[in-house]
Structure 1
Amino acid sequence: MHPTVERVTQRIMDRSRDERQRYLDRMARLRRNGPQREVLSCGNLAHGFAACGKRDKSALRLMNQANVAVVSAYNDMLSAHQPYRDFPEVIKQAAADMGSVAQFAGGTPAMCDGITQGQPGMDLSLFSRDVIAMSTALALSHNMFDATVLLGICDKIVPGLLIGALSYGYLPTALIPAGPMPTGLPNKEKQRVRQLYAEGKVGKEALLEAESQSYHSPGTCTFYGTANSNQLLVEVMGLHLPGSAFVQPGTELREALTHEATEQVIRLSAPNGGQKGLCDVVAEKNIVNALVALLATGGSTNHTMHWVAIARAAGILVDWDDFNDLSAVVPGLTRIYPNGQADINDFHEAGGTAFLIRELLDAGLLHEDVETVAGFGLRRYTQLPQWRDGKVLWEPAPEASLNPAVLESVQEPFTSDGGLRVVNGNLGRGVIKVSAVAPDHHVIEAPAVVLDSQSAVAEAFEAGQLERDCVVVVRFQGPKAIGMPELHKLTPYLGVLQDRGFRVALVTDGRMSGASGKVPAAIHVYPEAADGGALSKLRDGDRIRLDAREGTLDIIEPDDWAERPPTQADLAAHQNDYGRELFGWMRAKADTPEKGASFFWTAQND
């Protein structure tokens, strides 16, 4: 193992020892009670299988066959989740073929940031993760199940499903992906049209046509944002079947992999002699493997919160220093938009997760000795599934990348590090992703333009007020303020300014996520402005230095800095209407981004 990976893993184990042991003890106690149907009264059990057919009722009465819970985030508006419509029937048939049963245990909400960005619903986005976690726990609450399959793809959905399922971590659990849509309009062209629209050079019809050619069919969006980062990290953790993350929907291989995944969780279940559950796969080494994969691929900055929260649900304590230290030694092996022009289909065709995992394993950057849903050891995940003669066969990843412009070896990386840095200073603590930022933009020192909303940035841009070197500060965007929406609308404006030759950067207590691109952006900054953080004291013209090389974020302090009172923003317009009033208690209880921005553990400690 690489010494830094070893050191960070041991540090996480030491930090987590007590919390992790309490979690594992709880899972062991719950496991001893199973199969759970045995503790149900006759009335409970009759209710539990009342709608089943005769064969399934007989199997559930006998207690010696597995009952698989299906928890799904299906809806037919989200392209990524629309393919899940038919998955439950495939899963039920796969279970029946093994003499077992599958029941649709429950659904969870699934919202799309691509639809809600810049809209009121975006203020609910981050907290939807914890609503999904609670929905998953409710779905599994009937004590009817011996195994779980989770159907979900996108931003908050996979983390929410995992956090909820970890409350039932004694059950073997697999996530089943649905796959990306085919490649549409090239990302470079989409980006060009967006910037032309921001400059007023093309109209809304041209922009809508470009967006429609990009997002055009069932399947996950093909850029490497949070959704596809989810899929890659889950696979590297061993929670998918090997090589299954990016197989497109509507194919024979996709359906066969769904069938295979169901069979595998049944094999792992207690009625079939299984002894391992989700709690054994979501372990310290698997979490570190996920962080390494995130860094090696320039994945979504959202996961500096989401994977912290997932780990916490399994009793594992991760912080941003762990990301930072790993990033310093993990090479960048991919070029996928927004860190390049290729999409996730190009990555998969170049060798995909199997090639990536083999490269990182051979370099000592991933732990091989881990539990997975495919069995013990991550080496199994260096194979890709193929559809041959009516069945799934796994074949080794190609020896060399089939597209070196998209996927490279450890010996010839695109970058020497993972491109994620922690920044600290008198303005607070945050993260910055520089994998798509040119080196001469890693350090920006310029006067601040202090604004309190995305719309204010758009207005300032259109009025010509940003036509200069500047650090745009967008504050009162944190979880306690308005729920920490993603600030996607800023990307075209700031990109235009940079293309015009201005030295610009963004500093915010909000999020940028998969949209983080060529403009340096210190995000997730805390203490947030609404919590009295230093951002609330800033004024236009204050000189700010953002240094991604040294990891600093500072105001070059004016004489009156210490005496300035914090600004108090009127946030009522973001805290009411469109359901936002229902989430006030979540905002009030939200933890810091470095602790996952969840209310679960802060509420427990009150």
Structure 2
Amino acid sequence: MVHNVITDVTQRIVDRSAPLRSVHLERMEQARSAGPARGHLSCSGQAHAYAGAGDDQQSLATGHAGNLGIVTAYNDMLSAHQPFERYPELIRQAARVAGGTAQVAGGVPAMCDGVTQGAAGMELSLFSRDVIALAAAVSLSHNTYDAAVFLGVCDKIVPGLVIAAQSFGHLPSVFLPAGPMTSGLPNDEKARVRQQFAAGEVGREELMAAEMAAYHGPGTCTFYGTANTNQMLMEFMGLHLPGSSFINPNTPLRDALTEEGARRALSLSALGNNYTPVCQILDERAFVNGIVGLMATGGSTNLLIHLIAMARAGGIVLDWQDFSDISAVVPLVARVYPNGLADVNHFHAAGGLGYCIGTLLEDGLLHPDTLTVAGRGIQHYTQEPKLIDGQLVWQEGAGHSLNEKIVRPANDPFQPTGGLSRLTGNLGTAVMKVSAVAPEHQVVEAPVRVFHDQDEVKTAFKAGEFTDDVIVVVRFQGPKANGMPELHSLTPILSILQGRGQKVALVTDGRMSGASGKVPAAIHVCPEALEGGPIACLRDGDMLRVNAVTGELEILTEGVLDRTPITADLSAHQHGVGRELFAAFRNTVGPADAGASIFGA
């Protein structure tokens, strides 16, 4: 039996979504009924599409073989995406063996938030998700494909690709990951050196050595931030092959999974007998399963924005109350850095996603009968891929945790509720990642210091201005103001204050990294300051309460809401590193609690 709260929230989403969802599914059926798209192209159009296909030209021209469209986010600046350089040829060869063809339909941009943290480029980060969706749509718009494979891993890339996949929801789609880099310098040691640098105890040479030892090779960063949360979601929601998320790059098993992903995508096309379009996989139950996975593993707060936008592209309407209600009944069953000391390689070895899915199924916390690229039923995802005598097979996982300091059963979890909390009050609504925040730090009541820029916070810290309990407010960081950059570079400073014994919290209408850790941070505050939200009325010294236990975000000083909201000069955020090109995005983007999307509410 599925837990009654899970079924109630799901039904609420179904009812809320019915008008939009029915229109989306009707459009997808119209696209499906037209048949394989390239058959409707003119001979000249087809010749253009096949001219560069080499030995595959004849197969494409006859139209009898399935043709895969590869949408790739490859670049070799981004370590997580560097392995994708080899994927198109692996996919083409696998498709040929299966009697089909594959073409690179197009490339999409892929930026690294780790590179742009604290820099102007971060102001393009959130908007890059919608650019990726647009670019992927252009890639598939040639209408010459029977199915698609999407190559993406990191923060905005997977959500953008899913939005595009929903727009082409009549096509089967398989998402192919690259896997995490092998373990390097432990994440807690990296964080310690960062704090030492922020405190002036070590120099840049020591900091650089630590960072290079942590980020040392191809693959995803090994902490449990947004990139690896994306990978978790693709399994919980049925778009990855089972157990494929955390296999290291450039290994025989990784290559075998890539080739099988191509074959599986072809097998799901309308040319075969197992037609499974992505619009059937990504239904309301799949998104609820994704939210359960987010809560159970203590995943990235960024997904409270992205999942809403991803769902809306398929006519499904989520809100933060859905997340909050699910979090209240879903236990935290994993501790992966920054919520623990283990990295994702350790997590995978201890049982990983397969174990987590199995224990959540046993406790009735997942919809068991969802449709996936592996077939009907999320139970497929309790299995592990193995390469035995050169053959890819799936076997049942261990069925128990191999390290209970990393993963635990749902009936004996690390904590009884999920890793994310919704906060509401007279300041507005916000969210907080609580899975890494110690209980004694989850309630902070203190005077505020108000800033309009994260660099101002760093200057105040260096000047020794933070000597007492404080709630640091950084406003005019919302999507309309400057693209809602992450403020992760403040983490070392705030951690130092907390380590001194001060009560400290961050409140912002911006974002924190998916790797947000032990400092309580009420983020994504809505309405944002630029929209005249109450956060724009605060002044230094006003008392504020941030309570993750009761879900409060309250201004305690009387009369604050009677003030005229302050305005700010944001002209410096409107040019440089391409920001001038994104004015239309800033002018049309919706609020964070509606997905911070340019595609409408």
TM-score by length of 2: 0.99
- The equivalent residue for 1:304 is 304
Q: Which amino acid aligns with 1:18?
A: P
The one-character-per-residue Cα deviations of 1:240-268 (angstroms, maximum 9, x if unpaired) are: 00000000001000000001111011111
State yes or no: 1:133 paired with 2:118: no
> Structure 1 CA distance, aligned partners of 2:110 and 2:306?
16
> Structure 2 CA distance, aligned partners of 1:399 and 1:359?
8
The one-character-per-residue Cα deviations of 1:429-452 (angstroms, maximum 9, x if unpaired) are: 111111111111111110000011
- The equivalent residue for 1:538 is 538
> Structure 1 CA distance, aligned partners of 2:413 and 2:444?
26
**Matching of residues 362-373 of structure 1 within 5 Å:** 362-373=362-373
> Structure 2 CA distance, aligned partners of 1:153 and 1:248?
13
User: SS at 1:79's partner residue?
Assistant: coil
Q: CA deviation at 1:62?
A: 1.9
> Structure 2 CA distance, aligned partners of 1:573 and 1:486?
17
Decide whether the 8 Å contact of 1:543 with 1:555 is kept in 2. yes
- The equivalent residue for 1:39 is 40
User: SS at 1:581's partner residue?
Assistant: helix
Q: CA deviation at 1:466?
A: 1.1
> Structure 1 CA distance, aligned partners of 2:575 and 2:276?
45
- The equivalent residue for 1:232 is 232
> Structure 2 CA distance, aligned partners of 1:151 and 1:98?
20
> Structure 2 CA distance, aligned partners of 1:397 and 1:359?
12
- The equivalent residue for 1:466 is 466
**Matching of residues 101-250 of structure 1 within 5 Å:** 101-250=101-250
The one-character-per-residue Cα deviations of 1:359-404 (angstroms, maximum 9, x if unpaired) are: 1111111111111001111111110001111111211111221111
Q: CA deviation at 1:270?
A: 1.1
Decide whether the 8 Å contact of 2:132 with 2:157 is kept in 1. yes
- The equivalent residue for 2:78 is 78
> Structure 1 CA distance, aligned partners of 2:82 and 2:182?
15
Q: CA deviation at 1:557?
A: 2.8
**Matching of residues 218-367 of structure 1 within 5 Å:** 218-367=218-367
Q: Which amino acid aligns with 2:190?
A: K
Q: Which amino acid aligns with 1:439?
A: P
Higher mean C-alpha displacement, 525-534 vs 270-279: 270-279
The one-character-per-residue Cα deviations of 1:71-117 (angstroms, maximum 9, x if unpaired) are: 00000111000000000000000000011100010000000000001
> Structure 1 CA distance, aligned partners of 2:195 and 2:374?
45
Q: CA deviation at 1:499?
A: 0.3
**Matching of residues 397-416 of structure 1 within 5 Å:** 397-416=397-416
> Structure 1 CA distance, aligned partners of 2:554 and 2:357?
38
Q: Which amino acid aligns with 1:188?
A: D
> Structure 1 CA distance, aligned partners of 2:143 and 2:419?
44
Q: Which amino acid aligns with 1:64?
A: H
> Structure 2 CA distance, aligned partners of 1:272 and 1:524?
45
State yes or no: 1:556 paired with 2:560: no
State yes or no: 1:588 paired with 2:584: no
User: SS at 1:513's partner residue?
Assistant: coil
Deviation >3 Å, runs of 4+: none
Decide whether the 8 Å contact of 1:65 with 1:272 is kept in 2. no
Decide whether the 8 Å contact of 1:382 with 1:397 is kept in 2. yes
User: SS at 1:522's partner residue?
Assistant: strand
The one-character-per-residue Cα deviations of 1:466-504 (angstroms, maximum 9, x if unpaired) are: 121011000000000000000011100000000000001
> Structure 2 CA distance, aligned partners of 1:212 and 1:516?
20
User: SS at 1:489's partner residue?
Assistant: helix
State yes or no: 1:507 paired with 2:507: yes
- The equivalent residue for 1:18 is 19
User: SS at 1:515's partner residue?
Assistant: coil
Q: Which amino acid aligns with 1:28?
A: E
> Structure 1 CA distance, aligned partners of 2:20 and 2:196?
51
> Structure 2 CA distance, aligned partners of 1:544 and 1:27?
48
- The equivalent residue for 2:569 is 570
Q: CA deviation at 1:601?
A: 1.4
> Structure 2 CA distance, aligned partners of 1:599 and 1:557?
36
Gapped runs of 5+ residues in structure 2? Answer: none
Decide whether the 8 Å contact of 2:267 with 2:275 is kept in 1. no
Decide whether the 8 Å contact of 2:14 with 2:284 is kept in 1. yes
Higher mean C-alpha displacement, 550-559 vs 592-601: 550-559
**Matching of residues 448-459 of structure 1 within 5 Å:** 448-459=448-459
Q: CA deviation at 1:564?
A: 1.6
> Structure 2 CA distance, aligned partners of 1:354 and 1:437?
26
> Structure 1 CA distance, aligned partners of 2:195 and 2:231?
29
- The equivalent residue for 1:442 is 442
> Structure 2 CA distance, aligned partners of 1:483 and 1:291?
25
- The equivalent residue for 2:3 is 2
> Structure 1 CA distance, aligned partners of 2:374 and 2:432?
35
> Structure 2 CA distance, aligned partners of 1:520 and 1:80?
28
Q: CA deviation at 1:563?
A: 3.5
Decide whether the 8 Å contact of 1:491 with 1:515 is kept in 2. no
> Structure 2 CA distance, aligned partners of 1:34 and 1:160?
26
Decide whether the 8 Å contact of 1:475 with 1:510 is kept in 2. yes
Decide whether the 8 Å contact of 1:338 with 1:514 is kept in 2. no
User: SS at 1:71's partner residue?
Assistant: strand
Higher mean C-alpha displacement, 137-146 vs 403-412: 403-412
Decide whether the 8 Å contact of 2:150 with 2:161 is kept in 1. yes
> Structure 1 CA distance, aligned partners of 2:440 and 2:77?
42
User: SS at 1:514's partner residue?
Assistant: coil
User: SS at 1:170's partner residue?
Assistant: coil
Q: Which amino acid aligns with 2:584?
A: W
The one-character-per-residue Cα deviations of 1:159-205 (angstroms, maximum 9, x if unpaired) are: 00110121111000000001000000011111110111111000011
> Structure 2 CA distance, aligned partners of 1:301 and 1:288?
16
> Structure 2 CA distance, aligned partners of 1:217 and 1:550?
42
Q: Which amino acid aligns with 2:37?
A: Q
Higher mean C-alpha displacement, 56-65 vs 176-185: 56-65
> Structure 2 CA distance, aligned partners of 1:562 and 1:391?
66
What percentage of residue pairs aligned between the two structures are identical? 55
- The equivalent residue for 1:52 is 53
Decide whether the 8 Å contact of 1:172 with 1:276 is kept in 2. yes
Gapped runs of 5+ residues in structure 1? Answer: none
Q: Which amino acid aligns with 2:220?
A: T
CA gap of 1:562–1:347, structure 2 versus 1, over 3 A, is closer
Decide whether the 8 Å contact of 1:302 with 1:511 is kept in 2. yes
> Structure 2 CA distance, aligned partners of 1:578 and 1:255?
36
How much is the aligned-residue C-alpha RMSD, in angstroms?
0.9
Q: Which amino acid aligns with 1:266?
A: L
